Copies of this chain bind each other. A is one copy, B any other.
């Protein structure tokens, strides 16, 4: 009796047509409408199993008429998995991460998956919370710009297909898509050294992440290859995390007086550029500058900025591909896709004065 009472309002709303509010149409509603059983309706809609042509068309018509949309939760519950890929990036407002996410989303859409996007703000507590919700959703895969190896490994241990993007912290348990940071930094620094600069400073982040560490390493290797010392005092390592570092950078430049700068990421490049402008330094006459990660402004300021460019959306797309491939076949061997950066020579670099 009680269930019947519930059915009444639904019946009414159906009569009013598609637009009516009320309990969403279920498979049983659909079956009743088409005078058949729920299981037949299920087979018809998903196109597997035997269904007579006549019943099928009747069902499809009814689905259209009633505006039937299958309940994803019910399907997920049944299938013990979902089509939701969790994505967690450091900072949605940073164009680099936004583009990675755009690439991921585009790729997932093509394959019928959806993206659940979360921004930890470089906070491992938020990172962990995100992982928990992905577990709750029974996400088959997660793509992450990791803060610590813990979360990736936790997820991987539970059978989630984890792909690390931009940096790789858990090489044993995850696939990864990273840039060849060492080569990129090597090229950038070598470029400056070949222009005759002998006081090339590095401004980067003080993490052990492959991204930052790789860029530091490339900077050093370029010096070694050129048989030049790399003065540790010429490296400014700022703590990882949000916030502006303009004051620190200004102090660093005033103290160390480099003739050239290699900057480890787009946020620091922004800060450094502003410091130089405020100091009245002239690029490249007074100082040369190479940034890592090409953003629109780097092509617009005067002079334009020489940069190590990375195919940002491509990073996201490849990560999504790896993720889906591993979901399809969890026994795949671990893969690390290393993408080549591209040094773009522009106006901010010139021979030393």
Question: Chain A: residues with CB nearer than 8 A to chain B?
Answer: 18-24, 67, 69-74, 76-77, 80, 82, 84, 91-93, 95, 98-99, 101-102, 105-106, 109, 114-119, 126, 132-133, 135-138, 153-154, 157-159, 270, 273-274, 277, 295-297, 300-302, 313
Contacts and interface: CB of A to CB of B under 8 A. Distances in A.
Contact of A301 (B67, B102, B118, B297): B297
A92 B316 CA distance: 13
A43 to B, nearest CB: 19
Given A93-B102, A105-B118, A106-B119, A70 B301 contact: no
A240 to B, nearest CB: 19
Contacts of A296: 270, 295, 297
A95 B82 CA distance: 30
Nearest to A79: B73
29 contacts: A19-B153, A19-B157, A20-B157, A21-B157, A21-B158, A22-B159, A69-B132, A69-B136, A71-B77, A72-B137, A73-B137, A74-B77, A77-B77, A92-B98, A92-B105, A93-B102, A93-B313, A102-B119, A105-B117, A105-B118, A105-B119, A115-B117, A116-B116, A117-B117, A270-B296, A274-B300, A277-B300, A300-B300, A300-B301
A24 B79 CA distance: 13
Among the interface residues A70, A102, A302, which one has the most CB atoms of the partner chain B within 10 A? A102
Given A73-B74, A73-B77, 17 more contacts: A23-B80, A72-B73, A73-B73, A73-B76, A91-B102, A92-B102, A92-B105, A95-B95, A101-B117, A106-B119, A115-B118, A273-B300, A274-B300, A296-B297, A297-B300, A300-B300, A301-B301
Contacts of A69: 132, 135-136
A109 B125 CA distance: 13
Contacts of A274: 300
Contacts of A115: 116-118
Contact of A98 (B72, B98, B157, B301): B98
B77 A136 contact: no
Contacts of A158: 19, 21, 24, 67
Contacts of A300: 273-274, 277, 297, 300-301
A247 to B, nearest CB: 18
A136 B27 CA distance: 13
Closest 8 CB pairs of A and B: A297-B297, A92-B102, A98-B98, A19-B157, A73-B76, A72-B136, A73-B73, A69-B135
Nearest to A120: B109
Nearest to A78: B73
A72 B138 contact: yes
A334 to B, nearest CB: 16
A28 to B, nearest CB: 14
B92 A101 contact: yes
B116 A114 contact: yes
A23 B19 CA distance: 40
A17 B301 CA distance: 56
A137 B72 CA distance: 5
Contact of A138 (B71, B84, B105, B118): B71
Among the interface residues A72, A99, A135, which one has the most CB atoms of the partner chain B within 10 A? A72
B71 A136 contact: yes
